[in-house]
Amino acid sequence: MNAMMRWALVPCLVWSAACYHYVPVEGVVVYPRGTPLRAQLDTLSSFELSAVTVHNVDQVEGELVARDPRQLVLSATWLQAATGNGFDGGGWTVYLPSGNVTGLQRKELSLWRSAVVVGGIVAGTWLGWNAIGLGPNSGEGGGSGSKPQ
């Protein structure tokens, strides 16, 4: 693999190994449409997704569609029930009354976690290549150095 291919793989490795976490939102903040959010609900709610109705939902994850003083509208990616069961939101639009939303969190990239994961992958790859003899320290043959007669 040439050097150009190695450098082309770096962004792919960083993107695939990126670790995210949720950060609490304080006060009324205006986020652009599509911002990933997690809403904690005060009252257990039911949502109809396609042909399935999910009951006892206390947490909804999704991308912001709209927010006004009356409601929060998300394109749901995940719904978590109080029973511990989780359901794929499938991008269905859910309407959350503002009075029922007790906590709001925004999804952010964690640089520290991502650096640890990327460092582990790089170190593991380097050790693996050296273990099978394909690393930079592997040479072509060896021997005594004398010419055969």
What does the pLDDT read at residue 59? 95
Residue-wise pLDDT for 48-107, tens only, equals 887 888 999 999 999 999 988 899 999 999 999 999 889 999 999 999 998 999 999 998
- Other C-beta atoms closer than 10 Å to the C-beta of 118 total 17
Q: Closest Cα to residue 62, out of 72, 54, 71, 52?
A: 72
Q: Where are the domains of the chain?
A: 22-109
pTM exceeds 0.85 for this model: no
**Who has greater pLDDT, 129 or 138?**
129
Classify domain 22-109 at the CATH topology level: SH3 type barrels. (2.30.30)
Question: In the predicted model, what is the mean pLDDT of residues 112-134?
Answer: 75
Q: Compute the distance between CA of residue 62 and CA of residue 99 in angstroms, rounded to an integer.
A: 18
**Who has greater pLDDT, 23 or 109?**
23
What does the pLDDT read at residue 52? 84
Residue-wise pLDDT for 1-59, tens only, equals 555 556 556 665 555 556 788 889 877 677 889 999 999 999 999 988 878 889 999 99
84: burial class by Cβ within 10 Å (0-12, 13-18, 19+)?
A: exposed
Q: Compute the distance between CA of residue 94 and CA of residue 53 in angstroms, rounded to an integer.
A: 12
What does the pLDDT read at residue 136? 61
What does the pLDDT read at residue 71? 92
Two tokens at 108? 């952010």
